[in-house]
A and B are shown apart, each in its own frame.
Chain A
Amino acid sequence: MPLWVYILASVIKSAVVLGVLLTAVAYTVWLERKVVGHMQNRWGPTRVGPFGLLQPAADGIKFLFKEDLTPPHVYKPLYIAAPMIAVIFALTSIAVIPFGNPVQVGNYSIPLQITTDVNIGLLLILGVTSIGVYGVALAGWSSNNKYSLLGGLRASAQMVSYEISLGLSLVGVLIMSGSFSLNDIVRAQQGHFLGIIPRWNIFHGQFLGFFIYLIAAYAETNRIPFDLPEAETELVAGYHTEYSAMKFAMFFMAEYANMITVACLATLMFLGGWNGPIFGPYALQVILPVFWFVAKVFVFLFLYIWVRGTLPRFRYDQLMAFGWKFLLPLALFNLLATAIAVAL
């Protein structure tokens, strides 16, 4: 297609996806407060707007107007850069995630993905996740505060340790699909077994892989039951102690954006992406795959919030022992079993 069409389509896609992602981040916070509230037998936010739906807007306005205090003892360049690094890399990995089948507009077939289909899409997401660790580590160090340093080091050590199991759980899916490209992986999950059970990877042999991915994802995004680096914030201190107002909001935006990216990746790899019943006129045929994708991401996010409301948190040494001594051997076993099953 000509260059101007490509650029125009990319700009429109970027604007739409970024807008939806930032709104989704705000409303995931709302969803969490409501769901955890109901699980704890209380209402969540109810005052601001119907069902508390304007609560994220109120929180946003609060963060904008709060005093943005920079303590005098911090190392300024990294102090200001760290939340920016965290947010930039949390929002970048959405660029390679496809949301549906390519759309036919006039003469051109436009893929529903901000970049075109990258051959190494999966590796790009893993790379961006690896670099996102710097936001946390540098925030902890630049705050020039013993507790922040320890919290930051613990959080980044946890993220680096569970990245290995995360990657290994995805390699099982890779072996079965034979390609790093996210579109190919979703296309390999089309069709049904026995007419009813869809050929999603979770039913097609990657059940263990899905659960390893789930646990590693909770640890990567610092969520319960692995959120000791953040609980230290509530009890003592943590890597975002010295941050106020918008910089603090940027760290939390980064955390929820990471959650959404991880949920999108899980639906692409294990839950069949946008595969689902498609019927009706062309407009419906374009929207339905995106609808199925969003529904599956929503289920995964609800699972995140459900676990948050239910489980207690691990102590740090239990957390690290679990990651290295149990999850990593299990992920290697999953890889070995998948490789043998595919080779035979």
Chain B
Amino acid sequence: MVSIHLILFLVFGAVAVAGAVNLLAQTHPINGALSLIAVMAALAGEYLLLGAEFVAAVQVIVYAGAIMVLFVFVIMLLNAGVEERTKGSRVAIIVGVPGMLIGSVLVAWILLTRSGTQSVPVGALPGAPTIIGDLLFHQFLLPFEVTSILILIAIMGAVVLASKPQAVQKRKEH
């Protein structure tokens, strides 16, 4: 039965796959970054179809709106040029693309026929913000706190990496 949900699922899925393939096919990194933004937005649409509204909104705000902005900043500041085609990369395309296609067909066939999962109906994972808050602070409190400490360590590491090394500063003072 062809319902609007099936059509939407296929549209978002097509955009995600097309974006991902375009990311690999483009030679200029900025085009790749923009394709990745399209993939993130399509995934947010898929989350919405599952009923996980909060996750969809946070996907757009955090992933497409902050993390990809940083990717785009780095590409702009490093002035990364167009990708060059060498002999090695040509071999990689000739061997890799059919290999990846065969591999993905194999994985899809195994998942569809051998694993015990069924297809997920629309709206199967309701995720109102109250439900997620409840889960996050009661059932998943330990992973939540550990993740926040992990992020803190990453921030401190970034600050240390970005500052000048102490030895160089001391030598300059003498």
Contacts and interface: CB of A to CB of B under 8 A. Distances in A.
Interface in A88-130: 119-120, 123-124, 126-127, 129-130
Contacts of A137: 69, 72-73, 76
Contacts of A149: 76
**Interface SS of A by simple majority:** helix
Interface residues of B, number: 18
A130 B64 contact: yes
A127 B30 contact: no
A16 B76 CA distance: 40
B65 A141 contact: no
A131 interface: yes
B86 to A, nearest CB: 24
Interface residues of A, number: 22
Contacts of B30: 78, 141
Contacts of A129: 65
B77 A120 contact: no
B11 to A, nearest CB: 19
A146 B53 CA distance: 41
Interface stretch (B12-20, B55-63, B98-106, B166-174): B55-63
Contact of B65 (A131, A153, A157): A131
Nearest to A180: B129
A298 interface: no
Interface of B: 30, 37, 53-54, 57-58, 60-61, 64-66, 69, 72-73, 76-77, 128-129
11 contacts: A120-B57, A120-B129, A123-B54, A123-B61, A127-B61, A129-B65, A131-B64, A134-B69, A134-B72, A153-B77, A156-B69
Given A123-B61, A126-B57, A130-B66, 17 more contacts: A119-B53, A119-B128, A124-B57, A127-B57, A127-B64, A127-B65, A129-B65, A130-B60, A131-B64, A134-B37, A134-B69, A134-B72, A137-B72, A141-B76, A153-B73, A153-B76, A156-B69
